[in-house]
Amino acid sequence: MKITISAIKADIGAIAGHICPSPGVVNAVSEFVKKNAKNLLIDYYVGYCGDDIHILMTHQRGVGNKEIHGLAWEAFKAGTAVAKAEGLYGAGQDLLKDSFSGNVRGLGPGVAEMEIEERPAEPFLFFAADKTEPGAFNLPLYLAFADPMYSPGLMLSSTLAAGFSFTIMDVNYTEGDRVITLNAPEDLYDIAALLRDNHRFVIESIRSRKTGEIAVVCSTTRLHNIAGKYVGKDDPVMLVRVQSQFPATGEVVAPFEIAHYVAGDCRGSHNVPLMPVKRNSTIGYFDGPAMVQCLGFSVKDGKLIGPVDIFDHPYWDWVREKAAQKTSEIRRQGFSGPAMVGMEELEYGGIAERLHKLEEKFSVRK
Ligand code: F6R
Ligand code: MG
Ligand code: MG
């Protein structure tokens, strides 16, 4: 059976700053989806990661479908109405355009969706991150889909041996989708050369080279490219099919043990480790930590079984502690050097004005 899995997410307002949506907002979004799911969705799940609400939907209308995107857009609008009534902070902040034009891409919400021929058993993982950028998934995906040091299946399984093709997007380009497709393992060094730059080059999708099947889709929105100014980090979502012709669940989640440094936390302007957290986690330190959730599902004829909260396990408590320690180490040096992101990623305009004014006061000593 052919089904589409669509994950659409938006920050439409939060309690106490950019912390988490209120129960009223989550309820409004869920109720809207529930009421309007008939004849449209097979199944759905609503949750949140920090201040971002996500709607995970299964259906048979393919990717980029007007009705499916319209349902999510209207659900977020219903949630925004509650957020405004409750006086939540940043109510409707990711609904950057006034009207819906058939697809939420380019309007503010993040989207990751894939159409698949459902396997007899179809396990997949849904990742949602907050206080960070889409490039935060670059390293974990590289390690899971291209590096036998993390993903032993690449050398142990003859199915995985054919490798994977990576489609990478240049998210700085705003005239359209500027993409390149490279093959692992032959193009490993080229892939690495792009993926080292998390701000600009972002994995959009990964396919099995053996079967051509889609394995991964990530949201690649650049909110500031849409809004023309800083409106928060992009807080990506991602879908990853696992097992058999794809890496195992364990191979996909293993790289998150690194708690690698990404851009995020307070004002989206710092380099901090990505902390794996539990389902529906809230923000707790320095407008962070930059965090990621991983929900495991099985899907049969479009019906979702799950979620299993993958990072809700004693193993990940240790990783969380390590991530907190790494955070504390780099935060102690405040604004200095690598603790903050580079000028082009410092998305608040104030510092540019400040530096501009200082330019006039400089003199060149003769
Ligand atoms: C980071 C984030 C927060 C805000 C900060 C200031 O992605 O959302 O750190 O940048 O709380 O928010 P405003 O400018 O809305 O007062
Ligand atoms: Mg957010
Ligand atoms: Mg936000």
Three-state SS sequence of the chain: CEEEEEEEEECCCEECCCCECCHHHHHHHHHHHHHHCCCCCCEEEEEEECCEEEEEEEECCCCCCHHHHHHHHHHHHHHHHHHHHCCCECCCCCCCCCCCCCCCCCCCCEEEEEEEECCCCEEEEEEEEECECHHHHHHHHHHHHHCCCCCCHHHHCCCHHHCEEEEEEECCCCCCCCEEEEEECCCHHHHHHHHCCCCCEEEEEEEECCCCCEEEEECCCCHHHHHCCCCCCCCCEEEEECCCCCCCHHHHHHHHHHCCEEEECHHHCEEEECEECCCCCCCCECCECCEEEEEEEEEECCEEEEEEECCCCHHHHHHHHHHHHHHHHHHCCCCCHHHECCHHHCCCCHHHHHHHHHHHHCCCCC
Radius of gyration from C-alpha coordinates of the chain: 20
Q: Which residue minimizes the CA distance to atom 4 of ligand 1? A: 267
Residues labelled catalytic: 11, 230, 233
Side-chain-facing half-sphere of 284: CA atoms under 13 Å: 11
pTM of the model: 0.97
- Same domain? 247 vs 182: yes
- Same domain? 112 vs 193: no
- Same domain? 345 vs 261: yes
- Same domain? 342 vs 329: yes
In a domain, 17, yes or no: yes
Predicted confidence (pLDDT) per residue in 78-113, tens digit: 999 999 999 999 999 999 998 898 899 888 999 999
In a domain, 365, yes or no: no
In a domain, 154, yes or no: yes
Percent of the chain with pLDDT strictly greater than 90:
89
Cα 234 to ligand 2 centroid, rounded to whole Å: 7
Cα 48 to ligand 2 centroid, rounded to whole Å: 9
Residue 289 CB less than 6 A away from ligand 1 = no
Judge whether 188 and 196 are in contact, CB under 8 Å.
Answer: no
Residue 232 CB less than 6 A away from ligand 1 = yes
In a domain, 244, yes or no: yes
Residue 17 CB less than 6 A away from ligand 1 = yes
Cα 44 to ligand 1 centroid, rounded to whole Å: 30
Residue 131 CB less than 6 A away from ligand 1 = yes
pLDDT, position 230 = 65
Residue 254 has pLDDT above 70, yes or no: yes
In CATH, what number is assigned to the domain containing residue 26?
A: 3.30.70
Give the ligand 1 atom nearest the CA of 267: 10
- Same domain? 103 vs 158: no
Cα-based distances in Å from 54 to 10, 25, 69, 110, 194: 7, 12, 13, 9, 28
Residue 266 CB less than 6 A away from ligand 1 = yes
In a domain, 99, yes or no: yes
- Interatomic CA distance for residues 361 and 257, integer angstroms: 47
Q: Which residue minimizes the CA distance to atom 6 of ligand 1? A: 267
Predicted confidence (pLDDT) per residue in 61-84, tens digit: 999 999 999 999 999 999 999 999
Residue 50 CB less than 6 A away from ligand 1 = no
Predicted confidence (pLDDT) per residue in 264-286, tens digit: 999 999 999 999 999 999 999 99
Q: Which residue minimizes the CA distance to atom 15 of ligand 1? A: 90
Residue 270 CB less than 6 A away from ligand 1 = no
Residue 152 has pLDDT above 90, yes or no: yes
Q: Which residue minimizes the CA distance to atom 14 of ligand 1? A: 267
- Same domain? 296 vs 309: yes
Q: Which residue minimizes the CA distance to atom 3 of ligand 1? A: 267
In a domain, 37, yes or no: yes
- Same domain? 15 vs 29: yes
Q: Which of 75, 96, 117 is the last residue of a domain?
A: 117
In a domain, 366, yes or no: no
What is the domain range of residue 32?
1-117
- Same domain? 84 vs 112: yes
- Count how many domains the chain has: 2
Which of 161-165, 322-326, 352-356 comes out lowest in average pLDDT? 352-356
- Same domain? 21 vs 70: yes
- List all residues 6 or more positions away from 305 whose beta carbon is below 8 Å from its beta carbon: 297, 298, 299
Ligand with minimal distance to 94 CA? 3
Cα 150 to ligand 1 centroid, rounded to whole Å: 35
- List all residues 6 or more positions away from 360 whose beta carbon is below 8 Å from its beta carbon: none
